[in-house]
Structure 1
Amino acid sequence: MGYKLLHRQWRSTRAMYITMIAELGGTVAVLVLFGIAQPDLYRTKLWRAGNELGFNSSPNVILYSYANYEPYPDIPFVWSQLLTNFNVAISVLSLFLLLTKLIAFIMHVWFPIIAAIINISMIALYAASMGGQAGPDHLDPTYPSSVAWYIAKPCTVAANQKIQGYCRQAKGSFAVTCIMFGIYLANLGLTIWALLPNPANDKVDEDDEDETSSPAALKGGNWEMHGIPQTPRTGGLLYTPRTTAFNTLESKAPLRDQYA
């Protein structure tokens, strides 16, 4: 009995299918929400609304830098186009990995060690997305912000109903991102559970250690003839069907000659 790192079985097939169903729902949600937000449905509007409310910097710093021939400012990650593209990319990647995992799991090639690497990677990606959506904004020292206002505050602080709708959509995207983060944590938990030493999982395969079918286990070393029916002998002489046929043609009866 030895620990097998690669060819390990999952502890609970039902739990795996349950997490895949939850992952499918979350993946569809992030695809829709991040796809709608692409390329800039409400990012700049929420940025400007937060400045008008005194919560963060203003997007006008970009225009000021161009007008004054100043270097392009370092846009906070929470208001950058990079975050929007990043969210769309990880949502598409999640769908691809889910389809791949489903096919590999059905074909019994989705091993826990491979799942562990993928789950850790996706946890890191969704953690970066969560940090970006609720990230700080210290671009303007007059209005510093440690957490994006649409996350830290209720949407009703904005009088504009349209801004409130964008705020709720941004909150929904952040909530679904947190759900996907939790789903991949659950997947990682199942993976770690499968990787833990388990006597039923670490036993040697019967096909690899079947001594009864090995040549050394056959007595007398006549393993080449194993399974071939023995030809009956008569009085020390070997008679085969072909020999009997020839003797019959020659009108010789083997048994009669023997007893005579």
Structure 2
Amino acid sequence: MLKLQNISKQFDGKTVLDDISFEIGSGEIMSLLGPSGSGKTTLLHLILGLTGADQGSIVFGDENLTRVPMKKRGFNIVFQDYALFPNLNAYDNIVYGLRNQKGAASDKEVQEYIDFLELTPHLNKRIGELSGGQKQRVALARTLVTKPKILLLDEPLSALDGVIKESIKQRIQSIAREFKLTTIIVTHDPEEALTLSDQILIINQGKIAQFGSPQEIINQPENEFVEQFIIKQLQIKRQNIYNLFGEMYA
């Protein structure tokens, strides 16, 4: 379980995150949802260890990670632009970080991840020869082979659309279930959060607007901001959300 308690963060005297607390269970998918500038990416970086909290604690299992540096936390991230090496082929990108990492995947496990993500036909291709969905799968494989304790995804679907977007959503859900891997996703898109997540943390101006399941957020928005952000941004009425997402929320 990952537990954040009373996390606050300021930059240049401006409060970016204010008293953030939540818990996520093993293998759950949680979306950090909110408009641009709400603080969700800063919160992701705090969890990863790219930046430190001014106040509060970050606990994973029984270990307090608040002052533990990023390299020792055992978390890993897939950035929005994938951050792949264009001069290497897909396979070399996947195994790039394994050379000096203890506890990383064996050759057999690497192949299992490649098979799981259906990347075998693309292993010898350069990054420039891959589609957006294929690049995203390579980035996911490169992260999975390091056996992260938590998987962090920064806007993983923003550059994708249509069938490819739905396919990657299904892959992310399968990864969390198959490997019991707690997954945290940053998104500004309510539809992505509602259809992908077990829990959603909605942030507005650095504060928690609501934390709950997709069903709770649709059925019981706790304030006007949540209702307006969810309903208006989707541009449909609440009843139509049920129709759009089908039996998922029945």
TM-score range, shorter chain: under 0.3
Q: Under a length normalisation based on structure 2, what TM-score does the superposition of the two structures give? A: 0.24
Richer in strand (by share): 2
Q: Under a length normalisation based on structure 1, what TM-score does the superposition of the two structures give? A: 0.23
